Structure 1
Amino acid sequence: MRLLSIFAAALPALVRASPTPRWTDHDDIAILNFELAVEQLENAFYCQGLEKFSQEDFARARLPRYTRGRFEQIRHHEHFHEEFLETAIRAAKEATVQPCNYTFPLHTPRSFVRNAVDVETISESAYIGAMDRLQRNDFRVADAAILGVEARQASWIHSAIEHLNPWNTALDVPLTPRQVWTILQRYIESCPSDNAKLLPPRTTDTFEQLKVVGRLHPGQRGQVRFHEIHYEEECLFVIFKTGVSELSARLGKHGYFVVPEGVKNTGADYIFVTRKDSAVTDDNIVAGPTLYMFSYGSNVY
């Protein structure tokens, strides 16, 4: 277990893929375009879900009567965020990324709720990671203003609607643009070809998709799968990244490993496979991240 007790000092090392020169305003715009791409996905998610499921559908799923109305409010928030970022980018006389084509697993109102938690959690991690890269203070303030709303939305959905933990640990997890784009591939079919050049370097150069097989239980054997890597021939590790720690397990044959005890009740964890039993960076990732919830009841203490 690697405690991040000096989180503020360590944050740059955790969220940067590799040392880079100081960025210019143009590079800040690339970060804003990355955030815009995340907001476009969020906005599309809520638009498609609310278009598909009526108030009656939510009622039949035994969700509280106010649920759909609250999601309408969240949709308006995401639309505002999208327009806000577009305006900031265009004010700098720069081009904006265009929306991608998305596929969301919206089978029932319950699956919509479940995926909303994931989308909000990933978005929050995207904003935390992006904040360290922004150089202009006004952009950082805007980033923080949106980040706070994303975190509140994730908390409300998970606790008020799913009756699960309203927060994770004392700190949340920053992700790099490349890590975020990797995890969002579950929802993305295709994107306009011009988008990549407007984003931070290597954002769209995604890592191998990582899949958790079945449920994971602390202290018990778990399994992950990913393609194009002969993981039994390498010394690889499964890393569980929470806001306050990174816990590792040696990856064995056929993707089996022992789930660390310390992940119990940590809420949202990002799981990676890496080549080193050390802090996760874009340089040592083999596969992932994928998001996994070690949730507990909202009324459990």
Structure 2
Amino acid sequence: MTEADVALGVSAYTGAAQFITNKDYLTAAASVLATEARHASWVASTVNGGSGWSGALDVPLTLNTVYTLAASFITSCPSTNPALPVKAFPAVSFGSNPTPGSTATVSFNSTTDASTPLYAVFFTGLSQIFSPIQNGQTMIPQNLLGTVYAVVCTNDTLASDLNIVAGPAILDFPFNSQGQLV
């Protein structure tokens, strides 16, 4: 299991918390979230030799972005299962070795009209940082650390399931205890 795999679990539980209305379920979900966070920290620090955390706050992901990343782990479902109320977005990649402050090539398949402005959106903590995509390239924001999720969307102020056209990609920018990229 990779650091990205366990980080996805934390982001999935963080994003889904808004849908829990029963306090008993909320307590159980909080307990699982705490365990997922400990797993992510252990894998990051002990297994991978990096920082035991990704930042001050974890990224809450939507159901569709989680499904997009988790769909590759699903090998089969019983035919009697109802259809899931989620959709997977097309994959996106940001070059072979994206680093903060560099320009990266953005690759994805989309049916978006060529005249529609597109933006790379980087999810870090509770923030979304937008960078225009021009000629298939975008600037990776300078201040990114840890696990960052990146999508392509058609809006320059808020990325949501309604305007995401590709992604997310999981980007990892390891850092040391002084908050410096390594």
For 1:50-91, what per-residue CA distance to the aligned partner results, in whole angstroms no more than 9, with x for missing partners? xxxxxxxxxxxxxxxxxxxxxxxxxxxxxxxxxxxxxxxxxx
Answer yes or no: is 1:227 the counterpart of 2:109: yes
Distance 1:128 1:152 in 2: 14
* Residue-pair matches, total: 180
Q: Contact conserved, 1:208 with 1:227, CA < 8 A, in 2?
A: yes
- Report the equivalent of 2:168: 289
Distance 1:296 1:269 in 2: 13
Larger radius of gyration: 1
- Report the equivalent of 1:134: 20
Q: Contact conserved, 1:163 with 1:298, CA < 8 A, in 2?
A: no
Match of 2:152 among 268, 273, 296: 273
Q: Which has the larger share of helix?
A: 1
- Report the equivalent of 1:262: 143
Structure 2 counterpart SS, 1:217 = coil
Distance 1:297 1:272, change over 3 A: same
Q: Contact conserved, 2:90 with 2:166, CA < 8 A, in 1?
A: yes
Q: Which has the larger share of strand?
A: 2
TM-score, normalising length: structure 2: 0.89
Distance 1:298 1:175, change over 3 A: same
Matches within 5 A, 1:105-144: 115-144=1-30
- Report the equivalent of 2:53: 167
- Runs of 4+ that moved beyond 6 A: none
Q: Contact conserved, 2:112 with 2:165, CA < 8 A, in 1?
A: no
Deviation at 1:218, TM superposition (A): 1.5
Distance 1:147 1:217, change over 3 A: same
Q: Contact conserved, 1:213 with 1:222, CA < 8 A, in 2?
A: yes
Structure 1 counterpart SS, 2:6 = helix
Structure 2 counterpart SS, 1:261 = coil
Distance 1:234 1:146, change over 3 A: same
Structure 1 counterpart SS, 2:39 = helix
Gaps of 5+ in 2: none
Distance 1:230 1:283, change over 3 A: closer
> C-alpha root-mean-square deviation of aligned residues, in Å?
2.0
- Report the equivalent of 1:249: 131
Deviation at 1:214, TM superposition (A): 0.5
